Amino acid sequence: MPLPSIYKSETSQQLLARIDALKPDSKALWGKMNVAQMLAHLCVPYEQIKGENTEQVPWYLKLFLKLFLKNLLTNEAPYLKNARTAPSFLKVNEHDFEIEKNRLKTYILEIERMGAQELCQRPSLSLGILNETEWNNMLYKHLDHHLRQFGV
């Protein structure tokens, strides 16, 4: 079954409501991040899309990701609990819950406004050019995975 479309207002509003259900003391059902770190972690792909984070993936890791993990990252199957993340996505410092929550909400709305056509013109730093469905699946299921991690 196709994942909800990040390009539609209805999906954005559902995601924003789930984010608003989080509290600064929300506890993870799995994993090591606290809720503020998780929100900062979720901002990373949007920072990359917007050109705010241009940390390059080493060529050998990029090749590995494209050959072996691209389908896993962009298909409709949910991510596994406790799966490892890329070093550039790790958030171990303290983060301000409200700041990270508001940043993430802003990014979600910016991607909705940007739309598929514009988004597809921006390559992923680790996977290169993605089509509309690949971008949608990767961004939506990443959000969904971590919102479920915190019970929303």
pLDDT of 109-142, one tens digit each?
999 999 999 999 999 998 999 999 999 999 999 9
DSSP state of 50: T
Matching residue, tokens 């949910």? 78
- pTM greater than 0.85: yes
Q: Can you read off the two tokens belonging to residue 93? A: 């410092």
Q: How confident is the model over 69-111, as pLDDT tens digits?
A: 999 999 999 998 988 877 677 787 999 999 999 999 999 999 9
Q: Can you read off the two tokens belonging to residue 5? A: 């479309």
Burial 76-104 (b: 16+ CB within 10 A, else e): eeebeeeeeeeeebebeeebebeebbebb
DSSP state of 85: -
C-alpha–C-alpha distance, residues 19 and 42, integer Å: 11
Do residues 137 and 74 touch, judged by C-beta distance below 8 A? Answer: yes
